[in-house]
Structure 1
Amino acid sequence: MRKLAEKAGVSYEQLKKINQGKTQSTNAEDALRIAAALGISLESFMAGEFEGTPTIAIAGKVGAGASVPVFDAYAKGDGPQVICPPGLSPSGVVAVEVEGDSMEPVYSAGDLLFYSRNGHDSVPSDVIGHRCVCEDEEGMGWVKQVKAGDEPGLFHLISLNPGANNIWNTRLKWAARVRLHWPSDLARRL
């Protein structure tokens, strides 16, 4: 509730009173701020419908040319949230923010990528040849096209930007196909 009060820019004590039913009213400006912070309409807020829109946690950043330590920067579900894109179930889905330009023109810095991991420590065969979010053995997070390496257990991480470097014959802890890409200007963060 403190996070919501801070995000909405309203008094924690006022929000607490509303939540506990100790007050039935708030000023219109605070009501609008709280509704916006919850990602719901003012009408839904005033009607007491606080369920709002489903959200997905942003786990952190993933490197597209930039070297980014593994992106599980927050406890599960504790990081920033983004409104779940239409047609995508929020269950088991994670989002990461792109950092770097090696995947231009398809993915740009600030864009969000949504993925689901089937196994915690695996590179399933169905990811080969596809754009994936992955973690290498040094704990760096990447978004690249994953191709089979020169030996079993090794992979090539291919950049789409012809001016960017590829990563050859590296070991991966896991890889998951990108399920959905949202350009940064379309994502509604909470």
Structure 2
Amino acid sequence: MLTHNQIWKGVDLLAARAGLTASALAKRAGMDATTFNVSKRYSQDGTRPRWPSTESIAKALAAVRVDFEEFAALAAGTAQTRSVPLIGFAQAGADGFFDDAGFPAGQGWEEVIFPGVEDAHAYALEISGDSMVPVYRAGDRVVVAPGETPRKGDRVVVRTVGGEVMAKEVARLSGDGVKLLSLNPDYPGRILKTSEIAWMARIVWASQ
């Protein structure tokens, strides 16, 4: 049985896995932003532990597409780990590192360890520059899963046919293309036609 501290640790890890704060996770799940705040975890006098509701946990899991078994492993500290290839974000636009489907290819990849990544083709990108601040900063690493289908609200890495690589949030998907929101308000969003996209991979983990 998971303890009070483990449950709340699991919530924090679930948020971090998606590159979110606990407040942002609650908002993404359609709940009040304070649902998972630290102040909600104990009674006002600090003597009685408060537990998140099963409904709030279920909504959070659905929002980031994680099942309860995986959440329990995160909370208990027993999540399995595996190594995934790592490449600098700037290099992702160069030829030879990916195949036509956006799967890692070629040689010279460094390997890094991440927990709970099931996609056999998953790989990590190391962020550079400030175009993704404040969500991701230079040196942060994100794991992407090219085998998963992105949906509205997901954070994704996109490579255009011209070799441009960007991390954005999906605002709208259609058969004709995708509307992307910028993670940094100082940078514009993008609207890309399907013909302009080489590949698009969902971000499933962030190490910050």
Question: Any residues of structure 2 matched to 1:145-164 within 5 Å, and which?
Answer: 145-148=169-172, 152-164=175-187
Q: Does 1:100 align with 2:133?
A: no
Cα pair distance change 1:87/1:176, threshold 3 Å: same
Q: Relative to structure 1, is the Cα distance of residues 165 and 144 closer, same or farther in structure 2, using a 3 angstrom cutoff?
A: same
Alignment of 1:20-31 (within 5 A): none
Instruction: Normalising by structure 1, report the TM-score.
Output: 0.51
Q: Which residue of 2 aligns with 1:128?
A: 152
Q: Which segment drifts farther, 74-83 or 100-109?
A: 74-83
- 1:129 and 1:71 mapped to 2: Cα distance? 29
Cα-to-partner distance string for 1:24-77 (whole Å, 9 max, x where unaligned): xxxxxxxxxxxxxxxxxxxxxxxxxxxxx85221144159xxxx7257548736
Gaps of 5+ in 1: 1-52, 184-190
Percent identical pairs in the alignment equals: 26
Taking the TM superposition and a 5 Å limit, the aligned residue runs for 1:28-107 are: 54-61=82-89, 69-70=93-94, 73=97, 76=105, 78-89=107-118, 91-107=120-136
Structure 1 counterpart of 2:179, one-letter code: H
What displacement does 1:95 show? 0.9
| Distance (Å, rounded) in 1 between the aligned partners of 2:86 and 2:95 | 9
Contact kept? 2:86, 2:123, Cα under 8 Å: yes
Closer, same or farther in 2 for the Cα pair 1:104/1:143, shift >3 Å?
same
Structure 2: unaligned runs, 5 residues or longer: 1-80, 99-103
CA change 1:89–1:162 in 2 (3 A) is same
Matched with 1:168 is 191
Structure 2 residue 167 is matched with structure 1 residue 143: yes
Do 1:155 and 1:172's aligned partners in 2 also have CA atoms closer than 8 Å?
Answer: no
Equivalent-residue separation in structure 2 for 1:55 and 1:78 (angstroms): 15
CA offset at residue 158 of structure 1? 1.5
Instruction: Please state if 1:177 is matched with 2:177.
Output: no
Using a 3 Å threshold, how does the CA distance of structure 1 residues 130 and 163 change in structure 2: closer, same or farther? same
Q: Would you say the 8 A contact 1:56–1:90 is kept in 2?
A: no
The code of the aligned residue for 1:159 comes to S
Q: 1:54 to 1:154 in 2, by over 3 A?
A: closer
* CA 1:113–1:180: 2 relative to 1, 3 Å: same
Bigger helix fraction: 2
Given that residues 84 and 90 in structure 1 are in contact (C-alpha distance below 8 angstroms), is that contact kept between their aligned partners in structure 2?
no
Structure-1 separation of matches of 2:144 and 2:152:
15
Aligned-residue RMSD, C-alpha: 3.1
The 1:159/1:83 distance shift into structure 2, 3 A limit, reads same
Structure 1 residues 142 and 176, CA gap change in structure 2 (3 angstroms): same
TM-score (normalised: structure 2):
0.48
In structure 2, distance between residues paired with 1:62 and 1:127: 25
